[in-house]
Structures are given as structure tokens and as C-alpha cells.
Amino acid sequence: MEQQESEKESEVTKNSSKSQEKHLPDEKWTPYLFFCISSIALASFQDGFQIGCINAPGPLIIEWIKQCHFELFGETLTQYQADFIWSIAVSMFSVGGMFGSFSSGFLADRFGRKSTLLYNNILALIAATCLSTAKLFNFYPMIVFGRFLVGLNCGITSGLVPMFLTELAPANLRGKCGSFHQLNISVAIVLSQALGLPFIFGSQEGWPYIFACVAIPTFLQLATIPFCVESPKYLISKLNDREGARRALEKLRNHSKVDEELEHMVQETMVTAEPMHQPGYLALFKGENQWPMIVSILMMFSQQFSGISAVTFYSTLIFKRNGLSGNEPMYATVGFGCIKLIATFGCLGLIDHPKFGRKRLQIAGLSGMCVSSILIVITLTLSNAGFHWASYLNVLFILSFVVTFAFGPGPIPWFFTSELFDSSTRGRAAAVSATSNWIANWMVGLTFLPINNIIHQYAFLMFTFFTFTFAIFTWKFVPETKGKSPAAIRKELTFMRKRICSR
């Protein structure tokens, strides 16, 4: 009885929220809104740049690490040892991201969205200094430390920027404004990979300049973010500053008729501010929240254990060691980034399409990655056996691996948690899910290259196993969420679990 009443109350709350949002007037893009969105999203550019900038120069940095270690300690590193040190440096990005993402909510509430974003750039500048001067000082541990700092910076960004963007946006533009985060990440990945080309900075002398370039978007944001407004929702919910929120809205909307939107924010804040709507983190793993939380975490694991991080971080090295020669691996890496960017644009049109649901796209994406990983192993084996033509097919299948990721496991796990939990638990559930994503990212980044050195191309069979397993899990245990309330989704989720487990 209590559960039915709770479900009814949740449905009534949701319908009330929809009703309020429906009556909000549609707003148009204004020059100032576009300025603020673009300035805030520069932090996302930093995130994407750091993902891509270590790819093309990876083999060059590994050779420098071997030379540097010999000069520092008088010992010669084996290729396996040098690869492991580089893997640690790569994975430290995810370690920093874990701490940053978990702390982003506290920092944003304690110091404000704008101030947190502003001072977060200090971490980016320190990291850029460490990364770009490591070769100058001939001290490779600076690379490891710099990767941790920039991971901390990007972890904070990953939790803060999407929230800040949607809080500034009017209801009818919220999706477009929120998409600036992923769009900037994808563009930055391609740009950073292009900078690693041999005729730009992809040389033993030039690779430190790739890391120095990350300071450019940082300085741009430092110059522009002071002219942006603080989040009106933050001003109301945390500072109780309605007049400040009104001034911010009037500036963003470029008119003074903001009373309705302001009142909507006030009412939403009053609902979510109730003590009963603020469960702790442990409550997410108890009672009716336990299974939805487990499913959310497994959805995040399906994204990272699919192998996309390994391909993103090590694609140049993979191409070089398995058939492509000369500058071909670097050009293939840039082409890989361009295809991924195009796929990112394409997936935006399918996620909310009437003919495609979350579940169908997730299963299709995982299945496509499963098949692609098998074909990658086959073509790598043929290439190693002397069939040079197979190396070009290998590039094609790696691209298909990336494209199928973009249409399913890429975007869906991020917003799946938000669809599964209502406003009373959504923030904390999203924090736990995001942290689990960073943990899985770290595990893959740390272990893939050493495993690849041992079993070579057959390392991709791990991803075959994971993508197949998560596709079956999605089919059996994950309900369709598009167009449904959290209460309805959770009810179906529980029913599917009981039906499967009772057999």
C-alpha cells in the first residue's frame, strides 16, 4: 500500500513538473546566452583534448621514457616495463577523474558553479606546465603527476559543466545547450589528434608542445567566464537570492518577462529541498533503490568495458604494431577521430527518434562492437601473418567499432541513470554512476597495453566477451525507458528481474 501511494505521489509530482514546464514560454537563443554556453563549454574542450592528445605521440613518449629512465637510474627498461609506466601515466587521468567527479557536486554547491569552474582552471594550468616541461627537466614522473592533475580538473568538469549548461538554458533549449558538452569533447579529440601528426608536433622534439596547447582554452575561459552570470537555480536554492536570479535570467533571456520561469525555479527548489527528498549515498544501495543502482552501474560498466577507452588511448600504437607503417598509424588515428565526431552528430538524431528506443540502440551498439572486435582480431592475425591488405581492413573494423559505440553504449548510460531515478535521488545516483565509469575507465587504461603485449591481438577478445555479456544483460534485465516515468520504469525493472530469477 505504501509503495503504491509512493508511486502515485511520484507520478503526480512528475505530471505537475511537466505541467509547469509546459506553460513556460519558449525562448530563443540570445547573443549573451550563446556567449555563456560557449565559455562554459570550453572546459569540456579541455576534457576532450586530454583524451586525444596522448594518442598520436604515445610511441614517441614511450621511447623518451626509456631514455630518461636510463639517464636517471642507469637502468635499461624493457619494452614491457616502458609500456607499463606509460599505462600508469595514461590511467592517472582516470584516477584524478574519480576524485574530481565525486567532489564536483560538493564544490559546485559550496562555492558556486561559476567560481568552481573559474578556479578549476588553476589545476589545468599546473597540469599543462608539468606535462609540457617534463622533457625539458628530463623527469618522466612529471608526466604521471600532470596526468593526475588534469584528470582531477576534467573530473570536476564532467560533473559541473553539464549541470551548469542546463541550469542556464531555457526549458525548450535545454537539450541543445547540454549537447555543447559532448560536442566540444568530440571536436577537441580530433584537434588534439591532428596536432600529433608528424608535420605539426608529432616528433620527438615537438610532442611537449601538444601538452602546452591545452593552456589555450584555459586562458580563453579565464578571460571570458568572469563575464558570465552565476546559475539562477544556484542563486535561489543555495543563496536564496531571488533578485540576483532575476537579474541573471533577464540578462540571459534579453527581456524582463521572467516571472514565470523564476517562480518555476522557486517551486522546484522547494520540492527538492525537503528533507525526505535528500537520502544519503548508502540509501542508494538499500531497499527499492538497490537494484536500479546496480543496473545503472552495470550500464556504465558496459560503456567502459566495451573497450572504447583502449581504442581511444592506444589506437596509434595498435595501428603501428599491427600492420600500418610510416605515418599511416597517425593518419589513421586522425581519421578515427573524424569518424567518431560524425557518429556523435548522427547519434543525436536517433536517441529520441520514435522508431528507436534506448534499449534497442544499446543492444544494437553492443552487438556491433562485439562483431567488430572479432573482425579486428581476425584482420590483425592476418596482418601479422604477412597479408598487408588486412591492415587496412583492420582500420575499417576499428572505425566500425567506434561508430557502433557512438550509437549505443556511448551516450545512453550517461542519461539512463537520470531516467531511472526521480529528483530526490537523481543527483547522488548520477554521482555514483559517474564515479563507477571513471573507475572502469582507469582499469581499462591501466591493463590493456600490458595484456596486449602478452596475448597481442587476442586482447580484443576480452571486449568480445564483455560486449556480448552486456548485450544479453540489457536484453534480459533492462527495460525501455523512453517516454516513461521513473516509477513506471522501476516497476518494470523489478518485474523483469523477478521473472528472470524465478525461472
pLDDT in tens, 359-395: 888 899 999 999 999 998 898 888 878 787 887 788 7
Sign (positive or negative) of CA dihedral 117, 421, 184, 337: positive
pLDDT (0 to 100) of residue 392: 79
Flag whether pLDDT at 271 surpasses 80: no
Q: Nearest-CA neighbor of 411 among 199, 249, 183?
A: 183
Identify the domain boundary among 186, 211, 228: 228
Confidence band for 17, pLDDT divided at 50, 70 and 90:
very low
Higher pLDDT among residues 135 and 289, named by residue: 135
Residue 348 is placed in which grid cell?
543525436
Is 253 among the domain residues? no
Cα distances from 94 to residues 2, 161, 437, in angstroms, run: 42, 18, 9
Using CB atoms within 10 Å of the CB of residue 364, give its burial: 0 to 12 exposed, 13 to 18 middle, 19+ buried: middle
Number of domains in the chain: 2
Both 210 and 286 in one domain: the answer is no
The DSSP annotation for 215-248 comes to HHHHHHHHHHGGGSPPPHHHHHHTT--HHHHHHH
Is 7 among the domain residues? no
Let me know: does 148 contact 133? Beta carbons within 8 Å: no
Is 237 among the domain residues? no
pLDDT tens digits, residue range 124-139? 999 999 999 999 999 9
Both 293 and 219 in one domain: the answer is no
Is 11 among the domain residues? no
pLDDT (0 to 100) of residue 175: 58
Both 439 and 298 in one domain: the answer is yes
Both 490 and 404 in one domain: the answer is yes
Q: Nearest-CA neighbor of 424 among 10, 3, 1?
A: 10
Both 199 and 114 in one domain: the answer is yes
Confidence band for 275, pLDDT divided at 50, 70 and 90:
very low
pLDDT tens digits, residue range 190-220? 888 888 888 888 788 889 999 998 888 899 9
Whole-number average pLDDT of the chain: 80
Identify the domain boundary among 207, 228, 249: 228
Both 350 and 437 in one domain: the answer is yes
Give the range among 315-324, 427-436, 457-466 with minimum mean pLDDT.
315-324
Is 240 among the domain residues? no
Is 399 among the domain residues? yes
Both 297 and 214 in one domain: the answer is no
Q: Kindly report the number of other CB atoms within 10 A of residue 363's CB atom.
A: 20
Is 78 among the domain residues? yes
* Spatial distance between the Cα atoms of 246 and 230, rounded to a whole number of angstroms: 11
Q: Nearest-CA neighbor of 112 among 232, 230, 227, 251?
A: 230
Both 211 and 313 in one domain: the answer is no
Is 236 among the domain residues? no
* Spatial distance between the Cα atoms of 403 and 370, rounded to a whole number of angstroms: 12
Flag whether pLDDT at 5 surpasses 70: no
Identify the domain boundary among 191, 213, 228: 228
Both 204 and 318 in one domain: the answer is no
Residue 95 is placed in which grid cell?
584516477
Both 182 and 297 in one domain: the answer is no
Both 420 and 493 in one domain: the answer is yes
Domain range enclosing 378: 282-502
User: Residue 299 belongs to a domain with what CATH number?
Assistant: 1.20.1250.20
Flag whether pLDDT at 32 surpasses 90: yes
**Which helix (DSSP H) or strand (DSSP E) does residue 363 occupy?**
helix 358-384
pLDDT (0 to 100) of residue 33: 94
Let me know: does 353 contact 361? Beta carbons within 8 Å: no
Flag whether pLDDT at 500 surpasses 70: no
41-69 mean pLDDT: 85
pLDDT tens digits, residue range 68-89? 999 999 888 988 899 889 888 8
Query: What is the percentage of the chain residues whose pLDDT exceeds 70?
Result: 83
